[in-house]
Structure 1
Amino acid sequence: MKQALIVIDMQEIFFNYPQNHLLHNELVVSNINELIKQARDKQIQVIFIQHTSQDEQHLMSEGKEDWKLHKNLHVSSNDKIIQKSKFDSFYQTELLDYLKANEIEQLIFAGAQTEFCLDTTIRAALSLGYQHNLLYKGTHSTINGAALQAGDIIHHHEATWNNRFLTVMDEIKL
């Protein structure tokens, strides 16, 4: 089954301000980089999704420092970078066409934020026919919310997703 690793919104905004720091942010980057290394070793396409605000004044507008992919991610010129402006990485982007053109059948998800863009994209992927997707524990994160702490949000979503929307894996091994 041909796979692609999709890394969502791992951008500088989550590292530049203490109030936006993802839970275990540096460990998550390290784990994502391990996934990237394994993907490249197995010739699995790596796709970075980059949230891009349409408001030029917003911190996440194209070209701003906070908009850039995190400097410690192992991004290469062979990777595909797709910009999005909504929670759903498929909505009004080239992602679905790119996956179809490259005959990708299984998606491996990582990134931020667990309950927003990652969750929305995981659910959309299932609805679009991607039925056997994967997510590895420790490769996604979020910040504390008004109702729940980041760790509780992560735990809740992994429990909800597992064996419904994708398979949650413990060991980072492709």
Structure 2
Amino acid sequence: MKQALIVVDMQEVFFNHPQNYLLNKEQVVVNINELIKQAREKNIQIIFIQHTSQDEEHTMFEGKDDWKLHEGLVITSTDKIIQKSKWDSFYQTELLDYLRSNDIEQLIFAGAQTEFCFDTTIRAAFSAGYQQNILFKETHSTVNGAVLHASDIIKHHESMWNNRFLTVIDSEIKL
């Protein structure tokens, strides 16, 4: 089964400002880089999704420091970068066409922010026909919310996704 690794919104906004720090941000980056390393070893396509605001004043406008993909990620020129302006990485982007034209059958997800763009993209992928996807624990994260701590948000979403929208793998990262 031909796979692609989709890394959603791992951008500097989550590393530049304490109020936006992802839970366990350093470990999440280490784990995502492990996925990237293994994907490269197995010739699995790596796709970075980059949230891009259309508002020039917004911190996530193209070219601003917070908009950039996190400097700690191992990104090469062979990786695909797709910009999006909505929570859904498939909405008005080339992602679906790119996956289909490359005969991708299974998606491996990683990234941020668990309950926003990450969740929306996982569910949209399922609706688009990608129904055998996987997620390794501790390869996605979020920030504390007004009602729930980040760890509770993550646990809740993993329990909702598992065996519905994808399979959550709670073991060593091994592609």
TM superposition score normalised by structure 1 = 0.99
Q: Secondary structure at the match of 1:35?
A: helix
CA distance in 1: counterparts of 2:88 and 2:173, whole angstroms: 25
Q: Deviations over 1:85-137 (max 9, x none)?
A: 00000000000000000000000000000000010000000000001000000
In structure 1, distance between residues paired with 2:122 and 2:113:
12
**Alpha-carbon distance in structure 1 between the residues aligned to 2:52 and 2:155:** 27
The alignment's C-alpha RMSD in Å is: 0.4
How far the C-alpha of 1:154 sits from its partner, in A, is 0.2
> Match for residue 68 of structure 2?
68
The residue correspondences of 1:23-172 to structure 2 (distance < 5 A) are 23-170=23-170, 171-172=172-173
| Gapped regions of structure 1 (runs ≥ 5) | none
SS of 1:87's equivalent in the other structure is: coil
Task: List gaps (5 residues or longer) in structure 2.
Answer: none
Distance 1:104 1:59 in 2: 33
What does residue 174 of structure 2 align with?
A: 173
The aligned amino acid for 1:78 is T
Letter of the aligned partner of 1:172 in structure 2? I
Matched residue SS, 2:116: helix
- Counterpart CA distance in 1 for 2:164 and 2:81 is 28
Give the C-alpha shift of residue 62 in structure 1.
0.1
**AA in 1 matched with 2:174:** K
How does 1:14-29 map onto structure 2 within 5 Å?
14-29=14-29
- SS for the counterpart of 2:135 is strand
CA distance in 2, matches of 1:92, 1:12: 23
Q: For residue 30 of structure 1, give the secondary structure of its aligned residue in structure 2.
A: helix
Task: Give the superposition deviation at 1:139.
Answer: 0.2
The alignment covers a number of residue pairs equal to 174
Amino acid at match of 1:59: T
Task: Output the CA distance in 2 between the equivalents of 1:145 and 1:47.
Answer: 28
SS at match of 1:50: strand
Secondary structure in structure 2 of the residue aligned to 1:168: strand
- CA–CA separation in structure 2 for the residues paired with 1:68 and 1:130: 28
SS, match of residue 82 in structure 1:
strand
Runs of 4+ in 1 over 2 A off after TM superposition: none
